[in-house]
Every structure is written in C-alpha cells, then in structure tokens.
Structure 1
Amino acid sequence: MTSEQRQFARHLRKHGTKAEDVLWQALRGRRLDDLKFRRQAPVLTYTVGFLCAERKLVVEIDGKQHDWYSEYDQHRTREIEAQGLLVIRATNAEVLTDLDVVLNRVRDAASPFSRLGE
C-alpha cells in the first residue's frame, strides 16, 4: 500500500458516515461470528468499506453519491470480484433502519457454505 492510499484510508476512517460508524461498531473486534473485519482496507487500487480477508468478503455501504456513480461501482465490483472476493452492498438507510437484516446478509455471505456452488 502506498503512503497516499494509507492517508486516504485514514481520512475515510476519521470522516466516516453515520451508517459506516454504526456498521463498524457491529463488526469490529470480531463482534460478528468472530470474523475479523478491517475498515477502509486497500484492495487493488481501491479502498473498500469493510474487508474480511479470511472469508474473502467485502462489505460496501452506498450513500446517495452511489446513485450517480453506479456504473463506476459496477466496474469496481467486477474488478474486485475477479480477485476472488465477494462484494455485498447495503445502503445507508438499510444500515440505519434495519441493521439486523444487514448483519444477517453479511453473516450469510461469510458462511463457508455460501459459495459451494461456484
């Protein structure tokens, strides 16, 4: 990781959205099924919201700006998934109003049985 990437990730962690902070409180310190997540982690040339390297899982939270950048997000997701990672997305509203549903989606995606058909 370059020093620019490191500084960018640090900036994102310090200036996270309310939804990112809420989800981080639920994921940090192995609070969800003893899974280790990192926040604002580098993957390729991108910085992803949350990464569980052990389960090859990326969790992204989409705010309003993602409506404008959906084509870019789709391209980014394809590149990340080409590296063998699974990307799941939730909106800010989902995290803030239905955190349990989001956590269950993360739990399901992280399950060692979730990708048996691949």
Structure 2
Amino acid sequence: MKPYNKNLKQSSRDLRNHMTEAEKLLWSKLRGKQILGLQFYRQKPILNFIVDFYCPVANLVIECDGGQHFTDEGLKVDRIRDEALAQLGLKVLRFDNGQVLKQIDNVVHEIHNTLYIK
C-alpha cells in the first residue's frame, strides 16, 4: 500500500459523498471489479493528495479533470502531483470530464488496455 495520509481521511469521505457526474459515471464502470477483476478505490489519500480512483494491484491512478485543471496553475499543480505519484511507481491516467460523460466506452477501453498491458 502506498503512503496514506490519515489527515485527509475526512476530506476523502466528503469527496466520496459529493462526486461529480463524471466521477459517478466512471465509478459505475470501475466498482465491483468490473475491469479484469481488479479492485479500485475512490477518493483515496496518497501522500498529500486525494486521487480520484486508485488500483493498488496495477499501481494505477485515474483522474477525472474538470475545467480548473486546464488553467496554467492547474496544469502546473497536476504536473507536480503526477511527478510525485510517479516517484511511488504509480501511473496516472487523466480524462477530462467531457471525455468521461460523452465517450465512456472509449475511456473504459483505454483503462482496460492500460491494465492489460501491465
């Protein structure tokens, strides 16, 4: 298991209780070991971050990005975060909310292919 920040436990619970529509849709495809029988967790604290979805067996993090991620500041923060997660051996897949909401089959296919290659 990757480093867990217990100080983020309540924030993580709050995020699970207030998921975006894109997160809800993607979670409906990940939960219950639907992809290759692998367990995913949602809103999982790792280091000082809360990742949207995490598959520990595959060392995979999946992020659903809203508009704030596409500002100069958002891109910078995401780059720093992705580098920190990569140092733990985690691969980060990012999808924007529009992709998830409008092309969920393509998103699931890309996740499946990423997991299958591992």
TM-score by length of 2: 0.91
Aligned length: 113
Q: Which residue number corresponds to residue 25 of structure 1?
A: 28
Q: Which residue number corresponds to residue 89 of structure 1?
A: 94
Deviation (angstroms), 1:3: 4.6
Q: Which residue number corresponds to residue 47 of structure 2?
A: 44
1:9 aligns with 2:16: no
Q: Which residue number corresponds to residue 101 of structure 1?
A: 106
Partners of 2:109 and 2:15 lie apart in 1 by 25
Which of 68, 73, 76 aligns to 1:65? It is 68
Is the Cα–Cα contact under 8 Å of residues 5 and 48 in structure 2 kept in the other structure?
no
Instruction: State the one-letter code of the partner of 1:72.
Output: V
Instruction: State the one-letter code of the partner of 2:36.
Output: D
Which of 36, 51, 56 aligns to 1:53? It is 56
SS of equivalent to 2:24: helix
Q: Which has the higher contact order (CA 8 A, sep 6+)?
A: 2
SS of equivalent to 1:34: coil
Which of 71, 75, 79 aligns to 1:74? It is 79
Q: Displaced runs of 4+ in structure 1, greater than 2 A?
A: 1-4
Instruction: State the one-letter code of the partner of 1:58.
Output: V
- Percent identity over the alignment is 35
Segments of structure 2 that go 5 or more residues without pairing to the other structure are: none
Segments of structure 1 that go 5 or more residues without pairing to the other structure are: none
Instruction: State the one-letter code of the partner of 1:96.
Output: L
Would the alpha carbon gap of residues 5 and 19 (structure 1) be closer, same or farther in structure 2, given more than 3 Å must change? same
Deviation (angstroms), 1:84: 0.4
Instruction: State the one-letter code of the partner of 2:40.
Output: F
